[in-house]
Amino acid sequence: MRDSRLDIAKGVLILLVVFGHLLPRIGLDDGLTNLAYTVIYAFHMPAFIFLAGITARSTRLIERIATFVILLIAFQALYYVAERRIGDPFAWSWTDPHWIMWFLLALIWWTLTVPFIERFPRTLVAVSAVVGICAGVLPFAGSELSISRSLVFWPFFVVGKVYGAKLFALTADLPLWTRVSGCAVAFLPLLALFVAGTDAGWLYGSGNFDHLEVSDPRGILIRACLTLIAFLAILALLAAVPDMRGPLTVIGERSLSVYLLHGFLIIALTPALAEFFSGGYGHAVQIGAVVISGFAAGGIAFALSSKPVHWIVSTPPKRAAAAIASLLTPRERAHTPPDPARNAR
């Protein structure tokens, strides 16, 4: 049976993903949009990756990897076609996933580590923490093969795999005042990131310390702080989600289709939004734009999480992956017990 709290958390986060991708289209010059953007990007992907770790399993590993590979190749091609249609094509690359596709490639790398996490859980928690915080010192850590993001966000996946279910259980019965105060405490560091004018490059996790123009010691300190802030926000999210069913639960159950398809709607809306805001806008208009974007994100997520849409996106790749896995996995030979009478002859 599915965990409603887990699905609600995924539903909230996928809404933030869509909302976060709409915000740059209305502009980040105003303080309100910049605040919302900073808060969202400081924790929403770490939290999503944490939840992915909770549901990760080493069973049917080849099938899971094959599913991600099929989706990555198919949607990389589809986004290339979509971008060409609007006259803004990106340079095709087999090693540098376009835009939101980085997450699928990173999922492949993280999933490959699941057997080791299950075998050495505490060791991998420590190792992943060091790797994630220090990944920026590596000169080759960049967008190629999603190396930087895979390493930076790996601790969230590992901790989700090892401790995620326990943390969900521990936060299930907290008093209301504890939940509210926990969310308030978690919001303060996120607000501090905005006040400090944190470069969005730190929140993306896609570049090394040279790219971010800081020394290695300073970069390690900043990355450690960002990691702790994200974990604090994740704990607040776990405490805040209720145990109930509703529209958010359905969106969370079918977050894959929302994630993969919402980019096409963002691409389609971008020219209209750019033209609308090309003449500038006041603070009141900006507030209205943020509110409308929030409702638009909800509408997009609701539409893309419909059962037929989710089936089209998820079922054929999974069936193809299962077929590939059956070809690559050797079948066990039927074992016939030895005949004692025959051996006695």
Q: Mind listing the pLDDT tens digit for each residue in 147-169?
A: 999 999 999 999 999 999 999 99
Whole-angstrom Cα distance, residue 170 to residue 174?
8
Res. 102: pLDDT tops 80 = yes
pLDDT mean over 27-42: 87
Structure tokens at 3: 């965990």
Q: Mind listing the pLDDT tens digit for each residue in 231-283?
A: 999 999 999 998 888 889 999 999 999 999 999 999 888 877 767 666 555 66
Structure tokens at 173: 């019965």
Place of tokens 């944490």: 50
128 pLDDT tier (thresholds 50, 70, 90): very high
The gap from C-alpha 129 to its chain's centroid, in whole angstroms, comes to 18
Residue 253 identity:
E
Burial of residue 64 (number of CB atoms within 10 Å: 0-12, 13-18, 19+): buried
Res. 286: pLDDT tops 70 = yes
